[in-house]
Amino acid sequence: MNHADLDALRQRVFEVPWREPNLVQLMVMDQEEGFFRLWMIRGNELRQFAPQ
């Protein structure tokens, strides 16, 4: 079983002082899903781009 704290992971990725934050991509697949969710830093937030 996978018990990752996805909210904490997203927050940590957002807080890292990336040299080029607009190039960061986080791909997450929840345990019960068959696809990845793509998250990118845009402006002052980490946003999900596809799919919803």
Mean pLDDT by 10 residues, the chain (52 residues): 82 96 93 88 92 65
12/10 Cα distance (integer angstroms):
5
28/9 Cα distance (integer angstroms):
10
For the question of whether the overall pTM of this predicted structure is more than 0.85, the answer is no
Choose among 16, 18, 37: nearest CA to 26: 37
Domain ranges of the chain: 6-50
First and final C-alpha spacing in the chain:
24
The confidence score (pLDDT) of residue 18 equals: 96
Q: Which one-letter DSSP state was computed for residue 21?
A: G
